[in-house]
Chain A
Amino acid sequence: EAEVAQSPRYKITEKSQAVAFWCDPISGHATLYWYRQILGQGPELLVQFQDESVVDDSQLPKDRFSAERLKGVDSTLKIQPAELGDSAMYLCASSTGEKLFFGSGTQLSVL
C-alpha cells in the first residue's frame, strides 16, 4: 500500500537554528498538508497545497516558517530560527478527496 514518506523521523536542534522537514505524498495526490501536533493535542493545520499552489497558510507563522512544493510533488517545511515552543510532531498528509493519509511524522525537539 502506498504511503506518505517523511524525513527525518526525529530532529533535535538548538533554539535559533534552522530546521527543514521533507515530505513525499502518495503518488497522484494533488493535495498536501502540513500539520503540527503538540503533545496531548490534536493536529493543527499549518499549510495546505493544491499541486504547487498554497491554498491555506493562514495559521503558518510566516515570520519563521516557510513551506514550498515547487513541482507539485514533494514538499519542504522550514523553520528559521527555531524556538523552544516549536517542539512538536510535524505531520504531512496527502489526499485526493476528503480522506487524509498521514506520514509517520517528524518529532522535533528544540533545546
Chain B
Amino acid sequence: DGGITQSPKYLFRKEGQNVTLSCEQNLNHDAMYWYRQDPGQGLRLIYYSQIVNDFQKGDIAEGYSVSREKKESFPLTVTSAQKNPTAFYLCASIRSLGGNTIYFGEGSWLTVV
C-alpha cells in the first residue's frame, strides 16, 4: 500500500547528540514537510521541500537540518543546537502545490534524556 513511513517510532537521545528521523513515501509526491507537535499546540512547520535537491525553512527551523536527495526521502536531523527537542514529529507529503490531500506519517516520538 502507498503511504508515508516514519522511523523510528520512539527515540531517546542524550543531550548534545544529533539524531536523524527518517521519512519515506511511495506516493510519488513532490512536496514533503516536517512538523513538530507539542501538547496543546498546533503543528508547527520545521522544513519543507517542493522538489528534489531543494528545501525551505519553516517557522521553527533553528536546530534542525534536512536533505532531499531523492524524491521519496526527506530525513530530518535534530541537532544539539535544538534547545528543546523533546516532541512528536510528523512528516507529511502532498502530490504538488494545489494537490488536495495532505498525507501524514505515523509520527516519531523524540525524548531527550
Q: Do A and B bind each other?
A: no
